Chains A and B, each alone.
Chain A
Amino acid sequence: MTAEAQKSRSMSKDLMVYVCLLVLAGIQFVIAYQSISPGQMFTRMLVVAVIEASLALLFFMHLADNRGLLWFVVIFNVFVLLAMQFGWTDAFRLSSGVPWAK
């Protein structure tokens, strides 16, 4: 493949990812106007945001081309994000009493 063809292919890939990101951002706005519970709304928006972030990481930040770095970034971030979830029970206790208490 010539350098020019490679450049054109890379440009069209970036453009496709950009359009996908715009559509996904639009979907988040649509979800915001759905008549669903806040929990459902949060879950749907989180799923869309994670897909958007994955596309940006893989193609705009080129992690798809470097598998070692991809695993390093993913494992580290997932660990940190999971470690931050310890306080949710307290957040629920503040609004609706100690969870599972009779």
Chain B
Amino acid sequence: MGTTQAEMTIPSHSSFSVMEKPTFSIPAKKMAMWLFIIADTATFAGCLVAYGFLRNGTPDWPRPFHSITNLALMTFILLTSSLTMLNGVRAARAGDRARALRWTLITAAAGILFALLHIREWMSLINEGMTLFKNPWGTGLFGATFYSITGLHLTHVTGGVIALVVVGLRYKAGRYNADDLEVLGLYWHFVDLVWMFVVPFVYLLNLAH
């Protein structure tokens, strides 16, 4: 008598435990996000390394970028969005749902602004004659690698913006908790982190001097 339901169904000498300590002491959802981030790092690294091989092995690699204003603005916006995401997660941890939603939506707005600036830049390059397979300055590989890498990043930003809005609203409605917002925050910081490598290698090394 006096035993709980769990003690009755699982013998005390069993090698299994109902309350097994989670891997690295973090919740399963967070661990899943870290595994996704590790896999996605390999994806982006694969793209950037392949880009490096091609750039190094191609003599007529173009250097078409003249202005860094748009790029600097995009970088500033994305870095700032990481800070606003941190504020959102902090507010969620404090249990302030309205404030957490506000910061999450500000982060999403920064993501939208970043994507619009990115698309504007793409349109200007397309108008100059740069497509996936050819450009007026040199090897056609440049367009293929540029659009692939920046496109993959833009896809991540777009997906992140959608997730920010959905998770933010569901958190406000009480369907998600602060952990869910923190897991999404990890993803958003990762998108920011990838940009730190895309900027120097895809843009700045191809500045016209």
Task: Report the separation of the CA atoms of residues A75 and B100 in the bound assembly, to the nearest whole angstrom.
Answer: 34
CB within 8 Å of A: which of B39-87?
41-42, 45-46, 49, 52-54, 56-59, 68, 72, 75-76, 79-80, 82-83, 86-87
Knowing A25-B199, A52-B196, A91-B56, the reply to whether A18 touches B25 (Cβ < 8 A) is no
Number of interface residues of A (CB under 8 A): 46
Which chain B residue has the least Cβ–Cβ distance from A86?
Answer: B49
Stretch in contact with the other chain, from B127-135, B165-173, B201-209 = B201-209
How many A-B Cβ pairs are below 8 Å?
117
- CB of A95 within 8 A of CB of B58, answer yes
Knowing A11-B90, A56-B193, the reply to whether A18 touches B24 (Cβ < 8 A) is no
Residue of A18, A25, A60, A77 with highest tally of chain B CB at under 10 A? A60
Task: Report the separation of the CA atoms of residues A11 and B68 in the bound assembly, to the nearest whole angstrom.
Answer: 30
Q: B86 to chain A: closest CB distance in Å? A: 5
- CB of B72 within 8 A of CB of A84, answer no
Knowing A57-B193, A72-B24, A80-B45, the reply to whether A29 touches B38 (Cβ < 8 A) is no
Which chain B residue has the least Cβ–Cβ distance from A21?
Answer: B79
Task: Report the separation of the CA atoms of residues A72 and B34 in the bound assembly, to the nearest whole angstrom.
Answer: 10
- CB of B56 within 8 A of CB of A49, answer no
Task: Report the separation of the CA atoms of residues A48 and B209 in the bound assembly, to the nearest whole angstrom.
Answer: 21
Task: Report the separation of the CA atoms of residues A31 and B189 in the bound assembly, to the nearest whole angstrom.
Answer: 24
Knowing A45-B201, A73-B38, the reply to whether A53 touches B193 (Cβ < 8 A) is yes
- CB of A84 within 8 A of CB of B46, answer yes
Task: Report the separation of the CA atoms of residues A23 and B38 in the bound assembly, to the nearest whole angstrom.
Answer: 27
Residue of A48, A68, A91 with highest tally of chain B CB at under 10 A? A91
Interface pairs A-B: 5 shortest CB-CB: A94-B57, A45-B200, A32-B204, A91-B53, A91-B56
